[in-house]
Amino acid sequence: MINHKDITVVVQGPVQTFQDRPQESGITQKCIESVRTHLPGSRIILSTWPSQDLSGLDYDELVISDDPGPNVRFLKSNGNPQYFNNNRQIVSTREGLKKVTTRYAIKLRSDNFLTGNFFTELQQRYPERSRTHRFLHERVVVANVFTRQYAKGFRVPFHLSDFFYFGLTEDLLALWDLELFPDATDPEIDRENVLFQGFATDCTQAFWVRALQKFDSSIHINGLLDNTPENLETSEKCFANNLVIASPAELGLGLCQKFLGTARISRTKGQCAQWQHWEWQEIYRRYCDPDFPKAPASVRANLFLKRLVHVHPVKLETMFKLYKTTRNSESGSTK
């Protein structure tokens, strides 16, 4: 059993509305208080930006980093920049983790909170690993929120959530000590329809792939739907050997209001596109522990029917969009 005194929680991100990014009132205080409740004895590092109102926040150490600003991973097809907060997330997470001195660490968004500490047991529950694709020293527990198995109706590889990470501090640093994304500037080669096949690589895919490339430089995807059999298999092996994927309720994570209610990720359509914990157990059994029990047939059938209704019909819409994009590109190149 992991002692709470061996855990440091890095609460990363803005404390309040920052650079036009709305923040739920009081959510960071709720976040920090939840850590005190569910991980008594643990240490809290708040990693945030200058000029934030920190009154009433019960943290142990403060890390203030210069704001790197929004980044532009690519230009839209019309040449306009597409802005992301990838570099902000890298900086606030990385700089906080660098200050951790305990054996274990948590990356927790400043707008989420804990509802339990089940993740500590989950991290220790699955001891078997295969000889290949075993990159981290121990497993890292992550949330299935935005850990998608399907996007736009198709299977997608390497689509890992960036919400919550729990594991060895050295493993979290390996995943988040990343170089910042350079800004795209060239309208000829940095446009989305030139850089990627179909749809741009998702931000969460980009984080995970860049981390994996530290261990295996051959890992690469060229867009959101670069779902070759080889990529899907490699993605599964990396998930099975280095992670534990579980729902917020299963690991003890609370989400802020913008991810609840009618939010796309909270609707049936969004939830059934994500990796389920039992599905992760299936690939754990396939690649790591063949003696691990299978999920009940009723559980499998229930998810299959939900995806049949909510996920697979989207394929036709996606195929039509890709067809139109291809036709427009071809017609543009002949002018």
CB 194 within 8 A of CB 329: no
Half-sphere exposure of 198 (CA within 13 A, CB side): 19
Q: What angle do CA 18, 23, 29 make, to 5 degrees?
A: 105
Chain segment 29-49, per-residue pLDDT in tens: 999 999 999 999 999 999 999
- Report the 3 state secondary structure along the chain: CCCHHHEEEEEECCCCCECCECCCCCHHHHHHHHHHHHCCCCEEEEEECCCCCCCCCCCCEEEECCCCCCEEEEECCCCCEEEECHHHHHHHHHHHHCCCCCCEEEEEECCCEECCCHHHHHHHHCCCCCCCCCCCCCCEEEECCCCECEECCEECCCCCCCCEEEEEHHHHHHHHCCCCCCCCCCCCCCEHHHHCCCCCCCHHHHHHHHHHCCCCCCCCCCCCCCCCHHHHHHHHHHHHHHEEEECHHHHCEECCHHHCCCCHHHCHHHHCCECCHHHHHHHHHHHCCCCCCCCCHHHHHHHHHHHHHHCCCHHHHHHHHHHHHHHHHHHHHCC
Does the pLDDT at position 20 exceed 60? no
Q: Please classify residue 53 by burial: count the beta carbons closer than 10 Å to its beta carbon, then call 0-12 exposed, 13-18 middle and 19+ buried.
A: exposed
- At 234, the amino acid letter reads T
- Residue 257 is encoded by which pair of tokens? 């209001």
- At 167, the amino acid letter reads G
Confidence of residue 22 (pLDDT cuts 50, 70, 90): low
Does the pLDDT at position 233 exceed 70? yes
Range from 16-30, 78-92, 99-113 that averages highest in pLDDT: 99-113
Q: What is the mean pLDDT of the chain?
A: 91
Q: Give domain limits for the chain.
A: 4-333
Task: Give Dmax over CA atoms of the chain in angstroms.
Answer: 67
Q: What is the pLDDT of residue 325?
A: 64
Q: What mean pLDDT is predicted for residues 97-105? A: 98
Confidence of residue 192 (pLDDT cuts 50, 70, 90): confident
Q: Please classify residue 70 by burial: count the beta carbons closer than 10 Å to its beta carbon, then call 0-12 exposed, 13-18 middle and 19+ buried.
A: middle
Q: How many angstroms separate the CA atoms of 122 and 124, rounded?
A: 5
Of 86, 242, 278, 87, nearest in space to 158 by CA? 242
Q: What is the pLDDT of residue 334?
A: 44
Residue identified by tokens 């210069």 is 66
Does the pLDDT at position 323 exceed 70? yes
Q: Please classify residue 332 by burial: count the beta carbons closer than 10 Å to its beta carbon, then call 0-12 exposed, 13-18 middle and 19+ buried.
A: exposed
Q: Which residues pair with 244 in a beta bridge?
A: 141
Q: What mean pLDDT is predicted for residues 129-134? A: 96
Q: Is the dihedral of CA 14, 18, 23, 28 positive or negative?
A: positive
Chain segment 194-223, per-residue pLDDT in tens: 778 878 899 999 999 999 999 999 999 999
Does the pLDDT at position 65 exceed 70? yes
Q: What is the pLDDT of residue 164?
A: 97
Q: How many angstroms separate the CA atoms of 29 and 11, rounded?
A: 11
Q: What is the pLDDT of residue 146?
A: 92
